[in-house]
Structure 1
Amino acid sequence: MAKLEIIVASTRPNRIGPSIGQWALAEAKEHGAFTEVELVDLAEVNLPFMNEPHHPRLGRYVHQHTREWSAKIAEADAFVFVMPEYNFGYNAELKNAIDYLHAEWQYKPVGLVSYGGVSAGTRAAQMIKQVVTTLKMTPVPEAVSIPFVHQLIGEDEGLQSNELMTASAKAMMDELARLSKALLPLRRPTTE
């Protein structure tokens, strides 16, 4: 049984991240490689700015919000980050959510759904790869990059995807499933 968590990174008012997250959720469910798919919205998680007194690698969390976040991330086998590009980078809330934890992220693949203007969030996607690989995550090269995203949001606030986005999502899900299985032995606790 493999679980995919789709994390919506944007938390600002009037954001479009949830619409893109819902689209990614539907694509993942239709793909069918993961037995469970869940949408996790950082605005609902509502983590404060990092306030744990101990380094995350120790796993000695004193705050309930951190213990809950730890459990949520630990139960996943793979991730998709739905992320905007802010000033050529990814947003602070996503960095904060990543930095809260350490071992919970390890040996899990991550797909990137980035969005923005002309660059489609690709600069943010490139920047986050340095962070996730430090945590022993594996970013898949296949990604969904959505340029001029506001032109694709319909009157119903839903994302109106195109053929290229759908094909990119399928390729990303294929690779997430492959890597999730390949990395599974590394995620299992050692019995030595």
Structure 2
Amino acid sequence: MTDRILVFYGSYRSDRRGIRLADFLVRSFRERGADAELIDAKQVGLPMLDRMYKEYPPGEAPATMEQLAGKIRAADAFVFVTGEYNWGQQPGLKNLTDHFLEEWYWRPTAIASYSAGRLAGAHASVAWHGTLSEMGMVVVSSTLTVGSIGQSLDEAGEPIGEGGSALARTFPRFADDLAWWTGAAREQKKRVAPPY
């Protein structure tokens, strides 16, 4: 069975280098046979959180939110691609994520972080781990970290230089870990319905 993976990216900046990592991941998961789709928070364009999806009466949520809720519910796994802003999470990605709750439950997720510097978004990765766990996802132990993003991936999301070589070497284990948990969750759901 083909894994349906949503890759979330959340920078709203005009010079978005992290999109290179998101593009690399979508392409790389597809090359492994997954059905991967990029969800770009800037393109989705949800407003600052006022009402969560579940707070709308059935059929009354904005069309964009309704469509995204359906994609989240239909997905087998998620990947969050995150930059680091002052040791924290990107507000655009956090805002998109907070519009939903139950839609995320009982699925594995992985975190890929990046930065222009050498710390590769490690602080944001740690912050996301707790947030995603609280929202009902199982965060896999493998992570990807890409420092010096502009020197590690070209504009097409192709690995370049030493950083790109490191990314190409570490991606297979990252993807294998997510695939294992995705398969485990799928089999468990066949045996036992989620408790709520």
TM-score bin (small chain): 0.7 to 0.9
Hey, what's the Cα distance between the residues in 2 that align with 1:82 and 1:159?
16
Q: How does 1:1-192 map to 2 (within 5 A)?
A: 1=1, 2-32=3-33, 34=34, 36-52=35-51, 60=57, 62-116=61-115, 117-154=117-154, 156=155, 158-161=157-160, 162-184=164-186, 185-186=188-189
Distance 1:57 1:130 in 2: 22
Return the offset for 1:172: 1.2
Q: Flag the 1:135–1:163 CA change in 2: closer, same or farther, 3 A.
A: same
77-86 or 62-71, which deviates more = 62-71
Q: TM-score of the superposition, structure 1-length normalised?
A: 0.86
Instruction: Identify if the C-alpha distance between structure 1 residues 136 and 186 changes in structure 2 by more than 3 Å, giving closer, same or farther.
Output: farther
Inter-partner Cα distance in structure 1 for 2:56 and 2:174: 31
Provide the C-alpha distance between the structure 2 equivalents of 1:81 and 1:9, rounded to a whole number of angstroms.
9
Identity %: 25
> CA deviation digits over 1:70-93, x for unaligned, max 9?
112111110111111111011011
Per-residue CA deviation, residues 110-165 of structure 1 (Å, 9 max, x unaligned), is 111100112100110000111111112011111110012122243x4544243321
Inter-partner Cα distance in structure 1 for 2:56 and 2:141: 30
SS at match of 1:141: strand
Asked whether the 8 Å contact 2:18–2:149 carries over to 1, the reply is no
Q: Is the 8 A contact 1:80 1:111 kept in 2?
A: yes
Amino acid in the other structure paired with 2:119: S
Q: Structure 1: state its 5+ residue gaps.
A: none
Check whether the contact 1:143–1:168 (CA below 8 A) recurs between aligned residues. no
Q: Say which SS state the counterpart of residue 143 (structure 1) adopts.
A: strand
- CA distance in 2 between counterparts of 1:59 and 1:166 reads 43
Task: Check conservation: 2:82, 2:112, Cα contact below 8 A.
Answer: yes
Task: Figure out how many residues of one structure are paired with residues of the other and give that number.
Answer: 187
Residues 159 and 165, structure 2, Cα contact 8 Å, conserved in 1: no
CA distance in 2 between partners of 1:56 and 1:63 (Å): 9
What is the identity, as a one-letter code, of the residue corresponding to 2:46? L
Query: Do the aligned residues in 1 keep the contact of 2:113 with 2:146 (CA within 8 Å)?
Result: yes
Measured on the aligned residues, the alpha-carbon RMSD in Å equals 2.4
Report the AA paired with residue 119 of structure 1: L
Q: Which moved more, 1:125-134 or 1:14-23?
A: 14-23
C-alpha distance in 2 between matches for 1:98 and 1:186: 23
